[in-house]
Amino acid sequence: MAEPLLQANHVAKHFGGVKALRDVSLRIGEGEIYGLIGPNGAGKTTFFNCLTGLYIPDGGGFVFAGQPLLADAPHQAAERGIARTFQNIRLFGNMTALENVMVGRHVRTCGGVWGAILQNSATRSEEAAIERRAIDLLHYVRIEERADDLAKNLSYGDQRRLEIARALATDPKLLCLDEPAAGMNHTETAELRELIDGIRRDGTTVLLIEHDVKLVMGLCDRVAVLDYGALVIEDVPAVVQKDQRVIEAYLGA
């Protein structure tokens, strides 16, 4: 494998006596779709939260695109090119779908207070570019019809798509999706699979937490399995599926 996009080195996190992550080391290559699976409470979301700066790891750290990732401020993770969605969707409910995606452009734009007040030409053209890009992204995830609806009024599936569009608006190198298929039916899951595949084809590496084993095994290039906060195995799906420890811990006999 070439230089990995993301290296997790011995990441550890505990909450009181509970060891949510113990010495987890992963390598995610550029352009991969990388699956992270495990039973409930295995530490998948904790891993996401450490990676995106919401938690500060108690040990170890991350190297992203060749540079260590400082774990102290979430907004820096987005700046470096790590975007995420949330297991329990977190949209800006009272803003429109379009505005939600426009907020995602915040980190790649620079308009300040004076620009906004004076409405100079630089601000106006940046604003227009933000809106164009946001509309394009709504097309990309196929919810352009809902652009002017408040995010809270969107259907569940559309909210998931909107969250992905908002994350993509930050121009991420790595997109982290936390159970995007949760609560979706077969058709929606199939569409989601197509969408994720498309995102990878367009050059963004994807890190996917998912419970839907069929989706993970069919979509991911490599899969890591967590159990009780520790890494069980990291390999291609075909190998992972046959691993005795994984079958016991997660897949079931």
Q: Which residues bind another protein (CB under 8 A)?
A: 52-54, 73-79, 83-84, 86, 90-96, 98-99, 102-107, 109, 111-113, 115-117, 119, 123, 126-127, 130-131, 135, 145-150, 153, 166-167, 169-170
Distance CA 157, CA 182 (A): 10
Q: Token pair of 176, please?
A: 């982290």
Backbone phi and psi for residue 150, each to the nearest 5 degrees, phi listed first? -65, 140
Residue with smaller CB distance to another protein, 58 or 127? 127
Write a three-state SS string for 111-139.
CCHHHHHHCCHHHHHHHHHHHHHHHHHHH
Rounded least distance, CB 205 to another protein, Å? 17
Handedness of CA 158, 207, 249, 246 (dihedral sign): positive
Rounded least distance, CB 121 to another protein, Å? 14
Rounded least distance, CB 145 to another protein, Å? 8
Distance CA 240, CA 230 (A): 15
Rounded least distance, CB 210 to another protein, Å? 19
* Three-class SS state of 94: coil
Residue with smaller CB distance to another protein, 10 or 90? 90
